[in-house]
Amino acid sequence: MSEKLLKSLKNEINAALNWLRQGKNLLRLFIMAAVLTALAVCAVLVNRPAEGEVPTSASQMVFERAVVTAVLSDDAAPDYEYAEGKRVGTQELEIRVQTGIHKNEIMSLTNYMSAMFNVDLEKDDSIIIRILTDEDGACYASLFNYNRGAVLGGLMLLFAVLLAVLGGKKGAGALLGLLFTLACVWFLLIPCLIRGIPAVPVTVAVVAVTAAGALILLNGFSRKTLCAVLGCVIGVVAAGAIAAAAGSLTPMDGFNMPEAENLILYGADKGLKVRGLLVCGVLISALGAVMDVALGIASAVWELREQNAAMTAGQLFRSGMHIGRDAMGTMANTLILAFAGSSLNMLILVQTYDIPFLQLVNTDYICIEIIQSIAGSMGILLTVPIVAFISARMMARGKRRRDR
């Protein structure tokens, strides 16, 4: 088994060296390195604190890990009337701090359990606490929540392992693409939006870079990848344009979103512009599904061309459309159901209160959900003919060049 593994590893290394010996691949590698360097520089610049910027109160809060060493008293009892059997009451706890400057200190805290905030603890449970300091300089602990880091980390590790094992090289590429996407959103897009850089243009730029990076990592440099990237960017921009048009007609914009008040209160001083955030949300939420459709159709057209090099651009386009129609329904449902799932509690309240239809369809929150769902789904639908057309033209052109 070890000899087989070593032989496989040696073959992979030789293949990589042969790939690097090709001049065009070295050029591609240089371009990728230059783009990544430029992105890193941009990320550093937009994340630097502005001159005179004051740290937020939230950033100065101190949270640490702790473990329950003893339950000193516990008067909690199950509440079947309002808490569906959850224990409600008070616990007096003794804890040991595990991190920070107070590491290994023993503290006591009171745990107030209600139906909404219900952290029911036992000895040896791992928790997150907030360390507070009173006017006299004495420190005391306040319970924040369970320590869920290990579970979440385990789930993410399991996901990564499954993706790499079941997907092989493609799975590893997809994982790198996912990390690249998250990095672009967190370190580039959000800081740019907070600093007031025009929301829609910067989101389109991040979407284009993210789509290109993720698809290249997944599928390498190829005509197929180029077709998928072009179709993906056009499809996402189409979804954003539809959302912008619908928002203009309703009228509806970022100021109608549930978080708008907090964004204005805490982000306006840094330059945050709320108006364009509705369209930005559509662009980001549609990206994943549009990438799926774009790469699927580009791959299908590529395979058709490989199997039958005599196919014309028109034939490739029609075949791509036939394949794309099968994906339209499921992909459109993906966004609709995703938005429905994220709004499930609201939909339950709507039925519970028996809200009149006219009030329902003209409520800001519901209108935003409808616009986002429909615009994203229309972006997916438009991606099918766009990618089929681009793929058919580019791949048929490549065939003609080889014939010459």
CATH number assigned to the domain comprising residue 83: 2.40.50
- pLDDT at position 187 is 93
DSSP 74: E
Q: Are 383 and 232 in contact (CB under 8 A)?
A: yes
* SS3 of residue 73 by DSSP: strand
142/109 same-domain check: yes
Show the tokens assigned to 313. Answer: 């651009």
Residue 254 sits in a domain of what CATH number? Answer: 1.20.1640
- pLDDT at position 239 is 87
Q: Which of 94-108, 214-228, 244-258 has the highest mean pLDDT?
A: 94-108
Q: Which of 89, 116, 147 is the last residue of a domain?
A: 147
Of 10 and 334, the one with more pLDDT: 334
Q: What is the mean pLDDT of the chain?
A: 83
Query: pTM of whole model > 0.85?
Result: no
List strand residue ranges (DSSP E) for 18-138, in order: 62-74, 77-79, 86-97, 106-113, 126-133
Task: Report the pLDDT averaged over residues 281-297.
Answer: 85
Calculate helix-pair angle for 344-353, 364-403, nearest 10 degrees: 140
| CA dihedral for 77, 81, 84, 89, sign (positive or negative) | negative
115/232 same-domain check: no
Q: Which of 90, 113, 147 is the last residue of a domain?
A: 147
Residue 276 above 90 pLDDT?
no
Closest CA to 202 of 128, 283, 315: 283
- pLDDT at position 139 is 86
**Assigned domain for 6 exists:** no
Residues 145, 97: Cα–Cα separation, whole Å? 14
**Triad 130, 133, 134: Cα angle to 5°:** 130
Closest CA to 112 of 164, 79, 75, 161: 75
How many residues are there in the chain? 404
Q: Are 114 and 138 in contact (CB under 8 A)?
A: no
Q: Are 256 and 250 in contact (CB under 8 A)?
A: no
232/134 same-domain check: no
Q: Are 347 and 370 in contact (CB under 8 A)?
A: no
Task: Report the pLDDT averaged over residues 41-53.
Answer: 83
Residue ranges in 250-356 assigned as alpha helix (H): 260-267, 277-307, 313-342, 344-353
Ranges 116-120, 216-220, 299-303: which has the least confidence: 216-220
Of 47 and 340, the one with more pLDDT: 47
- pLDDT at position 289 is 81
345/313 same-domain check: yes
Q: Are 332 and 324 in contact (CB under 8 A)?
A: no
Q: Could you tell me the pLDDT band of residue 21, with boundaries at 50, 70 and 90?
A: low
* SS3 of residue 215 by DSSP: helix
* SS3 of residue 99 by DSSP: coil
Burial class (CB in 10 A: 0-12, 13-18, 19+), 320: buried
**Assigned domain for 53 exists:** no
79/203 same-domain check: no
**Assigned domain for 18 exists:** no
Calculate helix-pair angle for 344-353, 313-342, nearest 10 degrees: 60
Residue 152 above 70 pLDDT?
yes
Q: Could you tell me the pLDDT band of residue 7, with boundaries at 50, 70 and 90?
A: low
- pLDDT at position 156 is 93
**Assigned domain for 92 exists:** yes
367/273 same-domain check: yes
Residue 42 above 60 pLDDT?
yes
Residue 400 above 70 pLDDT?
no
- pLDDT at position 402 is 46
Residue 19 above 70 pLDDT?
no
Q: Distance from first CA to last CA of the chain, Å, rounded?
A: 48
| CA dihedral for 215, 183, 170, 322, sign (positive or negative) | negative
Q: Are 206 and 185 in contact (CB under 8 A)?
A: yes
| CA 379 vs CA 203, 239, 245, 329: distances in Å | 16, 4, 13, 13
- pLDDT at position 112 is 92
286/361 same-domain check: yes
197/317 same-domain check: yes
Q: What is the pLDDT of residues 256-275, one digit of tens each?
A: 777 777 888 777 777 788 88
281/372 same-domain check: yes
- Give me the domain span that covers residue 232: 168-403
**Assigned domain for 27 exists:** no
Task: Report the pLDDT averaged over residues 322-344.
Answer: 76
- pLDDT at position 25 is 63
Task: Report the pLDDT averaged over residues 325-331.
Answer: 74
Task: Report the pLDDT averaged over residues 274-301.
Answer: 86
Q: Could you tell me the pLDDT band of residue 128, with boundaries at 50, 70 and 90?
A: very high
- pLDDT at position 1 is 47
* SS3 of residue 274 by DSSP: coil
Share of the chain above pLDDT 90, in %: 22
176/300 same-domain check: yes
**Assigned domain for 19 exists:** no
Of 392 and 25, the one with more pLDDT: 392
Q: Could you tell me the pLDDT band of residue 361, with boundaries at 50, 70 and 90?
A: confident
131/187 same-domain check: no
Of 96 and 329, the one with more pLDDT: 96
State which amino acid sits at residue 304: L
Of 208 and 404, the one with more pLDDT: 208
Q: What is the pLDDT of residues 62-76, one digit of tens each?
A: 899 999 999 999 999
Number of compact structural domains in the chain: 2
- pLDDT at position 196 is 85
- pLDDT at position 89 is 92
**Assigned domain for 366 exists:** yes
Q: Could you tell me the pLDDT band of residue 124, with boundaries at 50, 70 and 90?
A: very high
Q: Which of 147, 176, 201 is the last residue of a domain?
A: 147
**Assigned domain for 198 exists:** yes
290/387 same-domain check: yes
Task: Report the pLDDT averaged over residues 266-293.
Answer: 82
Task: Report the pLDDT averaged over residues 144-172.
Answer: 90
Show the tokens assigned to 160. Answer: 């990564």
